């Protein structure tokens, strides 16, 4: 339940100050989905820079250079790998022939240990499940829609990945986790966040709020490639949305059960209930929705969209 956020200034019209102001607003709102760590990645001076640290996003140094035209951000809620060890935080660095890249992930992956054995991937001291995506891309020796497709079809779990290379090519790889992408055509600008509610709240008090925008849909199973000049190219991968229809109430109806649920799944569910509690809702209401077949990220997105209003807006 992390938050992805960022901007793509493909017309190169924004000043460094404007980009910093926008990223700070996004970072502050992103803390609704995690305050354990935060980081950004961008290209400047001909090289890729990754800046990250434990702690909430508003404490991150968000000075954005004038020549940084794509800025990729992440605010983390820990599910695996302690945030106090900065190697476990996003974005992660990767390298293939021809380019370095940065990768960030919102969601949770369940088969990272299995994949590391099956694919004979090198050992790493990075404990985060998300890092398996970097290793799968590196193993293929290229960062392309094809290599991203192979990675996306290998991992199991919930995800949206963002990937940035040294040439300012930017990729969204979307599974069933939420994502909102806005384009401001008159400015030559894209802005994104994990939920529309977070994105709109970040823009509310900014000059961008007065500019016309349009929402760009990114579907589950889609790889959206945004080139340095702002063009959008789309590829697709085989994907099945995660549904918790296997969850069921025990005989007394007292709690939700699922056969063979992993430790990570149960931890993720606890975090969802903590988020719901911050809006004033009990865990039993979340259990009921899961039993009806809702995914955890569908519930989470609806919670933010409701903004604390009556839970009936979820049904």
Asked, for residue 193, whether it belongs to a domain, the answer is: yes
Positive/negative CA dihedral, 229, 233, 51, 181: positive
Whether residue 52 sits in one domain with residue 181: yes
CATH number for the domain harbouring residue 143: 3.60.20.10
For residue 152, the surrounding DSSP H or E stretch is: helix 145-154
What pLDDT does 296 receive?
67
- Comparing 80 with 257, the larger pLDDT belongs to 80
When pLDDT is cut at 50, 70 and 90, the band that residue 157 belongs to is: confident
Phi, psi of 12 (to 5 degrees): 60, 40
Domain boundary among 211, 236, 261: 236
Whether residue 104 sits in one domain with residue 62: yes
Asked, for residue 242, whether it belongs to a domain, the answer is: no
Whether residue 191 sits in one domain with residue 280: no
Identify which of 170, 46, 153 has the alpha carbon closest to the alpha carbon of residue 101: 170
Domain count, the chain: 2
What pLDDT does 268 receive?
67
What pLDDT does 153 receive?
97
Prediction pTM value: 0.84
Domain boundary among 192, 209, 236: 236
pLDDT in tens, 169-227: 999 999 988 999 999 999 999 999 999 999 999 999 899 999 999 999 999 999 999 99
Domain boundary among 190, 212, 236: 236
Whether residue 266 sits in one domain with residue 186: no
Whether residue 273 sits in one domain with residue 166: no
Record the tokens describing residue 125, joined without a space.
């001291």
- How far is residue 86's CA from residue 80's CA, in Å, rounded to a whole number? 13
Whether residue 191 sits in one domain with residue 153: yes
Identify which of 176, 301, 278, 174 has the alpha carbon closest to the alpha carbon of residue 226: 174
Asked, for residue 241, whether it belongs to a domain, the answer is: no
- How far is residue 52's CA from residue 45's CA, in Å, rounded to a whole number? 19
Phi, psi of 264 (to 5 degrees): -65, -40
Asked, for residue 279, whether it belongs to a domain, the answer is: yes
- Comparing 306 with 236, the larger pLDDT belongs to 236
Whether residue 147 sits in one domain with residue 260: no
Whether residue 252 sits in one domain with residue 160: no
222-226 and 170-174 as β-strands: parallel, antiparallel, unpaired? Answer: antiparallel
- How far is residue 258's CA from residue 291's CA, in Å, rounded to a whole number? 10
Whether residue 125 sits in one domain with residue 20: yes
Whether residue 295 sits in one domain with residue 228: no
Asked, for residue 148, whether it belongs to a domain, the answer is: yes
Q: What is the mean pLDDT of residues 224-249?
A: 79
Asked, for residue 243, whether it belongs to a domain, the answer is: no
Q: How far is CA 162 from the centre of its chain?
A: 7
When pLDDT is cut at 50, 70 and 90, the band that residue 290 belongs to is: confident
Name the CA dihedral angle for 191, 195, 200, 203, rounded to a multiple of 10 degrees.
Answer: -40
- How far is residue 78's CA from residue 106's CA, in Å, rounded to a whole number? 11
For residue 191, the surrounding DSSP H or E stretch is: strand 189-193
Whether residue 159 sits in one domain with residue 17: yes
CA distances from 249 to 144, 183, 255, 292 (A): 44, 43, 6, 11
203: three-class secondary structure by DSSP: helix
pLDDT in tens, 65-112: 999 999 999 999 888 889 999 999 999 999 999 999 999 999 989 899
Asked, for residue 18, whether it belongs to a domain, the answer is: yes
Q: Which structural domain, as residue segments, surrounds residue 298?
A: 248-314
Whether residue 130 sits in one domain with residue 80: yes
């Amino acid at each position: 339940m992390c938050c992805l956020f960022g901007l793509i200034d493909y017309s190169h019209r924004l000043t460094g100050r404007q980009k910093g102001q926008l990223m700070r607003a996004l970072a502050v709102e992103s803390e609704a989905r995690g305050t354990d760590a935060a980081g950004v990645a961008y290209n400047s001076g001909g090289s890729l820079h990754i800046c990250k640290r434990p702690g909430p996003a508003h404490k991150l140094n968000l000075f954005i250079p004038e020549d940084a035209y794509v800025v990729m951000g992440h605010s983390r809620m820990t599910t695996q790998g302690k945030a106090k060890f900065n190697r476990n935080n996003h974005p992660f660095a990767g390298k293939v022939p021809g380019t370095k890249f940065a990768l960030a992930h919102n969601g949770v992956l369940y088969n990272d240990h299995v994949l590391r054995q099956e694919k004979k991937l090198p050992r790493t001291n990075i404990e985060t499940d998300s890092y398996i995506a970097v290793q799968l891309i590196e193993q293929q020796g290229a960062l392309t829609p094809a290599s991203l497709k192979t990675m996306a079809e290998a991992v199991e779990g919930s995800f949206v990945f963002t990937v940035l290379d040294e040439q300012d090519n930017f990729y969204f790889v979307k599974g069933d986790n939420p994502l909102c992408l806005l384009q401001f055509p008159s400015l030559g600008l894209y802005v994104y966040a994990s939920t529309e509610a977070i994105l709109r709240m970040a823009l509310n008090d900014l000059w961008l709020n007065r500019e016309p925008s349009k929402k760009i849909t990114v579907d589950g199973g889609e790889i959206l490639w945004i080139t340095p000049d702002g063009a959008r190219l789309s590829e697709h991968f085989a994907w099945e949305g995660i549904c918790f229809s296997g969850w069921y109430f025990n005989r007394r109806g007292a709690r939700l059960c699922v056969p063979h649920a992993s430790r990570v799944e149960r931890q993720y569910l606890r975090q969802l209930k903590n988020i719901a509690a911050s809006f004033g809702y009990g865990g039993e209401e979340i259990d009921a929705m899961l039993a009806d077949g809702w995914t955890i990220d569908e519930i989470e997105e609806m919670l933010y969209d409701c903004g604390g209003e009556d839970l009936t807006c979820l049904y």
